[in-house]
Structure 1
């Protein structure tokens, strides 16, 4: 995932090389969380289950081989495709901690799941700040009409 311009100074100057070592040398081009292969287009069901063409089987969101129940899942009606792109992520969300044990190679889905609590915290903070600025400059909000 691209690094935002305002966050670039938190990362070391050799981050692209460090990230490549983690993603391709250590993880061998596969997500360390679910096993999806980098650069491949995979079929998935939207809930974490995906088709591993190399193993010719369905896998769940953490990479375990699963069997789909015949007739219970409308697989053909819900199959989507996505191109997998690996990124190097910090396990403890500290961009200054670049030890091998703190870095992991993850696909977009696993990266978003890993960062979800941080994204929710930032979203809450942004909304809280907007509302506070509105209170400061616009006065009290009118009562909501949906009661």
Structure 2
């Protein structure tokens, strides 16, 4: 995933080589959260279950093989296909800490789940600042 222009200064110059090392050498081209393979189309359900074509089994959202039989006739209308792209995530959300133990190769789904608290914090801050600017310049809101 490309880095936003305003955030590029937080990453080292050798970030492309470092992320390739984490995603492909250490993780072997699979998500470290759920095991989904990089750049493959994967059949998945909304609750995180997905079909692993390498082992011909269904896996849960954490990559564990499901023991129960899945009835395909009940799932056909729920299955959607998605292309998996791996990205390197900072486990502690600190972009200056690029130690190998702090970096993880995650797919889109696992990366969004990992970053959810940070996204919620930024969203609250953005909404609060917009409301504050509206109070300052526009007066009271008519819809409140």
Q: TM-score range by the shorter chain?
A: over 0.9
Q: CA deviation at 1:139?
A: 1.1
Post-superposition CA distance 1:96-143 (Å, at most 9, x none):
000010000000000000001101111111010000000000112236
Unaligned runs of 5+ in 2: none
1:74 deviates by: 2.4
Q: Structure 2 CA distance, aligned partners of 1:71 and 1:125? A: 45
- The 1:121/1:73 distance shift into structure 2, 3 A limit, reads farther
Q: How far apart, in 2, do the equivalents of 1:10 and 1:75 lie? A: 44
Gaps in structure 1 of 5+ consecutive residues: none
Alignment-derived partner of residue 22 in structure 1: 22
Q: d(CA) in 1 for partners of 2:75 and 2:119?
A: 31
Show the counterpart of 2:118: 118
The Cα shift of 1:38 comes to: 0.3
Task: Report how many residues are paired.
Answer: 144
Q: Secondary structure at the match of 1:110?
A: helix
Q: Does 1:105 align with 2:105?
A: yes
Give the superposed CA RMSD: 1.6
- Are 2:63 and 1:76 aligned? no
* In 2, Cα distance between equivalents of 1:51 and 1:118: 29
After superposition, where does 1:1-147 map in structure 2 within 5 Å?
Answer: 1-69=1-69, 74-142=74-142, 144=144
Q: CA deviation at 1:72?
A: 9.8
